[in-house]
Amino acid sequence: MPIVTEYDGLIKISRNPYYETRLGSAYLGNSLKLMGELPDESVDLICTSPPFALVRKKEYGNVDADDYVEWFKIFAGEFYRILKPKGSLVIDIGGSWLKGFPVRSLYHFELVIELCKPRLAGGLGFFLAQELFWYNPAKLPTPAEWVTVRRERVKDAVNTVWWLSKEPHPKANNKRVLRPYSEAMKNLIKNGYEAKLRPSGHDISTKFQNDRGGAIPPNIITDSIQERGASIGSPVLGEFNWILENDLGQPVNVISASNTASNDYYQRRCKEEGVKPHPARFPQALPEFVISLCTEPGDLVLDPFAGSNMTGRVAETLERRWLAFELNEDYMIASQFRFEQDAPLVVAPIKDRKTLKARALELAKDCSDKSLTMDTQKPFVQLDLFPASDNSMTDKKIIRFTYGDQFSPRQFQVSELVQLCSDCLPDRRVLQDEIAKRYYADHSSQNDLQKGENRGKLAMNTFLSLRAYKLVESIDGDDWQYRLTDIANEILDHQQDSETVFTIFARHILVNLTGMSLIKAIEAINSRGDKPQLEIIAYELQEMGYSLSTNCTYVSTMRQWLQEAKVLEKSYEINWDRVYDLLELDQDYIDELYTLSSEQKYFLLAMLQMAITELTEWNKITRYATSVYKIRFPSKSFVQDIIQPLVKVGLIATEKTTGGRGAKPNLVKLTEKSQMELLSRWVELNIK
């Protein structure tokens, strides 16, 4: 239902908005045409993530690197026109690689140079206020062949964010993006610091005791900026250097945030409604930082490439007016989910600056205002660019692999164990006693007291595994009361059919737990020609962001359960047909790479990397694949073993050349199917 905004009448566009909120409006259509209806110098901030110039085409409409600058300049002309004199243009723009080579494209540097050329020289006349950097720790390790296969390059995890302006001094105030003081800085303000010289000769004087209300953040927008400061400088000055780096330095220009946490609700609602989510969402930390830095409440923020409209959602929460333009109706439909009543706030609402100042003054040494009173009901809250973190040096968000100790199919029948859980409801103590008696009675040869302790610990580990595998759950936060989950009840309903039970449990492990991550780790190891072993799998999972030791039993436990369901054969050989059946997915979701041999995979991957969309001699592709992947192809049976199977599954097309002596090799090219679907699915299922 449309909501009348507080600022109706200030900005008029001829068409009706797709949806409205209290402070903003979203419009479906070409942003160039829509911007054409905006008055000159009417927008305070344009914060956007335009389509990147990538090697591979994406469904959201990216442009080739060669054409990107000229394409973007058309939009930039409108940006310049509608921006206020002190307005800012902030562009999140990703880098790109040259086709077939581990070499970076310069298109995003060429773009900013063109935008900042004087207008008389053919440019747009913008100033580069500052470059910011978005560090995404959860970004996929691409390009795959250079990072995960040949390992010649490190993961490309940083997007450049250009902050441009129409004049050298745009509206900006870094006090609006202060970070909470660290404990070390609080101690410095309270107790002072003995003045001394840094190795550079810079005087560390008592002036650093002055309270500024918070730490000036860096231009690295990051969750983990604190971690790197502790080792800066010599041991003598290390503590102060950490404070200087984290609390008193200029705002750094790297925004570190994955684009997962703030998008969970959005993705869930898209799935529930059967709507396609935007595939390239940026996190709330980026627009939060930029909007807070460059605007004030009531200012107008525009995102002309709105996508999932994270910019509009953040602007709304921060009391800024906003406009969002988006060409794709599916993305526009999905973006409405961000404004639903149940949608979580993606940033903290604006807090009273008086409370902020009061808290900061309370930290100061010898505060002169003894009569200052604090509202204890309102905790000290500053703009936090680092969600899921309390900015301490020790706290760090980690991904845990599903716990599984004393819980293997060699010890338990899952349906029998779930039945025991049902019989002992709801008392955890009773259940653990029964597990100890039934499964661990003969476990120990020690004295009775030690036997009891050991059995109790084993039974406790079994219960914790049941809870980690989401077969039981605590009741109202009481650790000693439990109930069965829906999955457990489904297992009980089919406990007479062991095959069905294993199918239900394996599907649960793959869909709701960390089973698919384990499968991807094993596939990655297999594709490299290595032998999967527990230690190597653990290392692979660590590369994916999981926290687990290399000798833990959790991986082995999950592998055994998946083996019972025939997902894994011969310990570490993946049965992808079985995975397909378990997940009940369309064929699009389990792509054809999994049914191919290693040689076929690498030949196809080389074609994708080389963008073979026109008929090309296959020996050129094999030379590339041999050089990059160190793979050997059969020389005599190449057509039969490599080309024909790929043609059969519709991934490549081929054309024979003339026969006889001196005949050229067969010509091959990618089909439209493999160009549009295959590589993205392979990356998603194998690397993410």
C-alpha to C-alpha distances, 90 to 306, 423, 478, nearest whole angstrom: 13, 61, 48
Give the Cα separation of 634 and 642 in Å (integer).
9
Q: Both tokens of residue 471?
A: 């077969």
- What does the block give as tokens for 316? 């709304």
Q: Which of 92, 247, 384, 591 is catalytic?
A: 92
Q: Are strands 667-670 and 573-574 parallel, antiparallel or unpaired?
A: unpaired
Catalytic residue among 25, 31, 44, 49: 49
Catalytic residue among 31, 50, 223, 465: 50
Per DSSP bridges, beta strands 219-221 and 652-655 are unpaired
Spatial distance between the Cα atoms of 203 and 43, rounded to a whole number of angstroms: 43
Are β-strands 568-569 and 573-574 bridged in parallel, bridged antiparallel, or unpaired? antiparallel
> What is the DSSP secondary structure assignment for residue 587, as one 8-state letter?
G
Sheet containing 652-655: order of strands: 616-617, 667-670, 652-655
Place of tokens 């307005």: 87
Tokens 């002036």 correspond to 207
Q: Are strands 252-256 and 219-221 parallel, antiparallel or unpaired?
A: parallel
Summary count for the chain: helices (H), strands (E):
27, 21
Contacts of 203 (CB under 8 A, 6+ apart): 195, 197
Q: How many residues does the chain have?
A: 688
Instruction: Verify whether residue 50 is a known catalytic residue.
Output: yes
Return d(Cα 90, Cα 411) in angstroms, integer: 58
Give, in degrees to the nearest 5, the angle at Cα 165 between 162 and 170.
120
How far apart CA 94 and CA 135 sit, in angstroms, is 11
Compute the 3-state secondary structure of the chain and give helix, strand, coil in percent, each to the nearest 5. 45, 15, 45
DSSP secondary structure string for all residues of 322-386:
EEEEES-HHHHHHHGGGGSTTSPPSSPPP--HHHHHHHHHHHSTT-S-TT----TTS------S-
CA-CA-CA-CA torsion sign (490, 496, 500, 504): positive
State how far Cα 334 lies from the chain centre.
19
Which residues are CB-neighbours of 31 under 8 A, at least 6 positions away?
Answer: 75, 304, 305, 325, 326, 327
Give me the residue label for tokens 């008929």. Answer: 615
Q: How far is CA 572 from CA 149, 188, 425, 543, 590, in A?
A: 20, 55, 37, 19, 19
Q: Say how far apart CA 521 and CA 515 lie, in whole Å.
A: 10
**HSE-up of residue 475 (Cα within 13 Å, Cβ side):** 9
Between CA 614 and CA 407 the distance in angstroms is: 54
Annotated active-site residue 549? The verdict is no
Tokens standing for 548? 């687990």
Q: Report yes or no: 293 and 320 within 8 Å, Cβ to Cβ.
A: no
Asked if residues 267 and 146 have their Cβ atoms less than 8 Å apart, the reply is: no
Query: 675: which DSSP letter?
Result: I
Whether 251 is catalytic:
no
Residues annotated as part of the active site = 49-50, 92
